[in-house]
Amino acid sequence: MKYSGVWIPLVTPFLDGGVDYGSLDRLVDHYIARGVSGLVPLATTGEVPTIADDEYFPVLERVLTRVNGRLPVVAGLSGNDTRRVAAKMKALEKYPLAGALVPCPYYNRPDQRGIYEHFSALADAAKLPILVYNIPYRTGRNILNGTIRRLAALPTVRGLKDSCGDIRQSMELLLDPPPDFSILTGEDILWFDSLCLGGDGGILASAHLATAKFVGIYEAVKANDVEKALGLWRTLAPLVPALFEEPNPAPVKHCLKKLGLIRSDEVRLPLTPISDGLKERLDAVLGGLS
């Protein structure tokens, strides 16, 4: 498939230490009703580093059951041991998924050869489509465009979530993309810019809020109505930076609780709830969006 539009990297709601499945159901229904293109559970915004092994597949199954085929789902899949990631990738094949979102291995910091071989091994292990996730500030390694182009030649590597943090690198790829390869921004602040440069869409934590406006920007750009898209983007300008003042997804969870979409803004250590000062600023921004 071609990945495009607004994708939500779902938060994992917690309540009293466990997963709050009722709130998870509510989120799924809410975002489907807002016209998003797809959902990505169990990624960074879903706090996957603190999701236990016996929670990962139940969360995925609950999302897929609630979605019930209404839109595509891509599962977050991370790790720095290629063998274990490949085994989990194989296990995901039995689910009706549109793919797996896979970051560069973290901490062991492979060079470009190791990065390529890691994704190549995953492509060999399973037929599930792969979205490469380039986010160097979390993994310690940037996947260079030359490596991305090599990966795009692999049959199951179908796209990129680009959070490289270098606008020049992003622009170079957007202006000359590999054929039949989706480029989705993961830099929320570059949502409008990326679309205007030919990007296919985005996987955006901030689109948990004011979702219809994010969708509206995508639709307006694709209809060549840049003026309308820019007008919508101006209304979101105060929101996006505020959501990343403190570690994601704690600010998003505060807002979702404030809006009644989840019962608790609970996060798992080492993340902590947001500061009182940020709560006040976010509450003011939310009031301005309504």
The C-alpha atoms of residue 217 and residue 6 are separated, in whole angstroms, by 10
Residue at 55: amino acid letter: E
Q: Which of 133, 213, 218, 253 is catalytic?
A: 133
Q: Which of 149, 203, 204 is closest to 181 using CA atoms?
A: 149
> 169: which residues sit within 8 A by CB, 6+ positions away?
142, 144, 145
213 catalytic per annotation: no
The C-alpha atoms of residue 183 and residue 178 are separated, in whole angstroms, by 9
The C-alpha atoms of residue 108 and residue 110 are separated, in whole angstroms, by 6
The C-alpha atoms of residue 91 and residue 77 are separated, in whole angstroms, by 11
Strand segments (E) across 24-142: 38-39, 74-76, 99-103, 130-134
Q: Which of 161, 213, 218, 253 is catalytic?
A: 161
253 catalytic per annotation: no
Which residues have a catalytic role annotated? 133, 161
